[in-house]
Amino acid sequence: MVGIWGMGGLGKTTAASAIYNKIHHRFQFKCFLGDVSDTERRYGLVDLQKQLVSSILKQTTICQINNVQRGISVVKGCLRPRKVLLVIDNVDKVEQLSAIAGDREWFGPGSIIIITTRDEHLLNQVRVNIRYPAEKMNKEEALELFSRHTFENNCPKKEYLELSKKVVSYCGGLPLALKVLGSSLFGRPITEWQSYLEKLKRIPEGEIIKKLKISFDGLDYNQKTIFLHISCCFLGLEKDHVTKILDECGFYATNEISVLRERCLITIEWGILKMHDLIQEMGKTIISDKSPTQPGRWSRLWNPEAITDVLTNKSVSSFSIKFNINAR
């Protein structure tokens, strides 16, 4: 089994698709299960099992699967003697893997099973030893991808070069953001580019935030609270110091910070808490979304102007507000 893991929008599905398309001709039995998380949420685990068996056997006689345990037996019986290529895309629960690929022994010799996920811990749970972290694009790669979607070329038009570099910098090497913003700016004049960039400073692109927020939505209440604290107040500080503060506030942060790292919502570099800029923007959007023009109703404040406005005008809501005293 091979795992590809990383934050949303890094191109895990694209990478898995490219691998599948390159080698699928070597396999008689193959299946690409796309967006397993969404399929399981909409239709259940039994539907995933039926998809797998029908795709491998190229037949629809699968009515014998009427519950998950029966499905496991059928999957094992059908696939154990066969060399299979299987991609299981966007897994977010170990139950999904347990139902369709619970063990390497379910598949015949020479089989390749590729799993994509935002959660590294899932790969630990099913003992995936070969894993590849999806990585951000460098500046040259990012500019080329952005240009393909914006100019249908590998490089920007000369008069758009500096503005293109600003957009690429904003995207932070995230392919999803490069594609979304590139498509949004396609065919637009320079004056609209400038206006759009000014807007992004205050209002992040909704389609990007929606995709990134999937990882946040999968957290429990305590984990969400810690994530929002970190995104607004604790980035750039030592993990151990932040952990001690949060533990003393009753948040059990020692384990929860590990969960946030495994789910690619934070990184820890040389003991320092860090986060992709767009993930941080997502956190701020979650906090301000219901009252974007009324910072006094936000649960946390990080912008110096907003902090000054709230304290000066005494516009604080009835619930407690956390201030980032290091805001600049």
Q: What are the tens digits of pLDDT across the range 97-131?
A: 999 998 888 999 999 999 999 999 999 998 888 99
Q: What are the tens digits of pLDDT across the range 65-81?
A: 889 999 999 889 888 88
Average pLDDT, the chain: 89
Same domain, 61 and 103: yes
Q: Using DSSP, state whether 31 is helix, strand or coil.
A: strand
What is the domain count for the chain?
3
Q: Is residue 208 part of a domain?
A: no
Same domain, 236 and 311: yes
Same domain, 183 and 221: no
**Contact by Cβ (8 Å): 243, 254:** yes
- 318: pLDDT confidence band, cut at 50, 70 and 90? very low
Same domain, 124 and 144: no
Q: Regarding predicted confidence, which is higher, 299 or 218? A: 218
Arithmetic mean of pLDDT, 283-295: 82
- 308: pLDDT confidence band, cut at 50, 70 and 90? confident
Q: What is the pLDDT of residue 322?
A: 53
Side chain identity at residue 63, one-letter code: C
Same domain, 227 and 290: yes
Domain encompassing residue 58: 2-133
Query: How much helix, strand and coil, in percent to the nearest 5, is found in the chain?
Result: 55, 10, 30
How far apart CA 77 and CA 58 sit, in angstroms, is 15
**H or E element, residue 15:** helix 12-23
CA 288, distance to chain mean position in Å, is 21
90, 115, 133 — which closes off a domain? 133
Q: Is residue 209 part of a domain?
A: no
Q: What is the pLDDT of residue 216?
A: 93
Q: Regarding predicted confidence, which is higher, 130 or 319? A: 130
How far apart CA 90 and CA 4 sit, in angstroms, is 10
**Tokens coding 295:** 């910072």
Q: Does residue 122 come out as left (phi exceeding 0), alpha (psi in the -120 to 50 range) or beta?
A: alpha
Cβ neighbors of 128 (< 8 A, separation 6 or more) are 1, 2, 3, 115
